[in-house]
Amino acid sequence: MDEIKEKILNVARQNPKGISDNDITAAIPELQSAELVTAMNELLKQECFDLFNQGGSLIYRLKTQSSKQAVKGADNEEKVVYNLIQESGNKGIWIRDIRLRSNLANTQLTKVLKSLESKKAIKAVKCVNASKKKVYMLYNLEPDRSITGGAWYQDQDFDLEFVDILNIQCLRFLNQRADSVKNNPRGPIVGRTQSYATVAEVQKYITDLGISKVQLDAEEVITILNTLVYDGKAESSVYPDGSKVYRAIESLIPPPGLVEVPCGVCPLIHKCSSQGLITPQDCNYITEWLDQ
């Protein structure tokens, strides 16, 4: 069993962001599921891992020396609070819940939290869905996407510029793929089939570009690719194995001018009229559109 535990620990050391059961079985294919359960239970008892939830699956992250050190000389209150925060994983715990479960007075709890924060044992993270709410979690954990809002949010604000860049780059990749198989000597049907790109290919392209500070998962790439489909710039299909694929398409008819008129997305449309401060006659958006 010691040998199995060491192998699991090695996999965890190579993946500092954490490992799932699937990662372990993929890295150690000879491992039986009963052996995995026993080994993981022992490693958890020995407090080798921090446990947290990521997209519905359980992730084990090797405890760092610093997180063990953090509670070494801590007093009882700090240990209680630290354990409550640790239990909450990467979804974190609200200060009110810590207070209710620890029975500590407000001022005492604030002092304990400050002390743990200064030791870099825990950190406070703002919730994307409640601007005044922050949750506490262990310092070395990456917050769950339900807390940060995922890749599309930067400091609680929707990062429109980032989404636009991803949109452009995904389309560029699909266009490059379509261009590379144009005039395929094996015929248009084969060319059409080869112009499809898998989500994994687009994901790899975006990762290799290095434009995203966070690692985009397949679902996030699909979200971007679907916006291209809704905009009529791409179409999707499904491979026999059930995976989704996308290809760039050229619109057969150019969009009618009325669709492109800026008023459709103008934030001032409710204040705009033929008289007053905001009028189509003085509108820069309209002037730019007419000049195109």
Residues that bind ligand SF4 (CB under 6 A): 262-263, 266, 268-269, 272, 278, 280, 283, 285-286
Identity of the residue, 252 or 265, whose beta carbon is nearer to ligand SF4 in the bound complex: 265
- Min dist CB 64 to ligand SF4, Å, is 54
Identity of the residue, 94 or 285, whose beta carbon is nearer to ligand SF4 in the bound complex: 285
Read off the tokens for 168. 């452009």
Identity of the residue, 1 or 277, whose beta carbon is nearer to ligand SF4 in the bound complex: 277
- Using CB atoms within 10 A of its CB, is residue 97 exposed (0-12), middle (13-18) or buried (19+)? middle
Identity of the residue, 57 or 279, whose beta carbon is nearer to ligand SF4 in the bound complex: 279
CB 202 within 8 A of CB 248: no
Q: In what order do the strands lie in the sheet with 130-138?
A: 93-94, 130-138, 122-127
Identity of the residue, 74 or 261, whose beta carbon is nearer to ligand SF4 in the bound complex: 261
- Min dist CB 256 to ligand SF4, Å, is 17
Q: How far from 57 is each of 13, 20, 51, 148, 247, CA to CA, in Å?
A: 19, 7, 10, 18, 31
Name, in order, each residue with C-beta under 8 angstroms of 150's C-beta and a sequence gap of 6 or more. Answer: 220
- Min dist CB 44 to ligand SF4, Å, is 59
Identity of the residue, 242 or 257, whose beta carbon is nearer to ligand SF4 in the bound complex: 257
- Min dist CB 291 to ligand SF4, Å, is 14
Name, in order, each residue with C-beta under 8 angstroms of 108's C-beta and a sequence gap of 6 or more. Answer: 77
What's the CA gap between 70 and 64, in Å, rounded? 10
- Min dist CB 284 to ligand SF4, Å, is 8
- Min dist CB 260 to ligand SF4, Å, is 12
- Min dist CB 231 to ligand SF4, Å, is 20
Identity of the residue, 150 or 262, whose beta carbon is nearer to ligand SF4 in the bound complex: 262
Long-range contacts (CB closer than 8 Å, 24 or more residues apart) made by 70-77: 70/116, 70/119, 70/120, 70/121, 70/139, 71/121, 74/116, 74/121, 77/102, 77/104, 77/108, 77/112
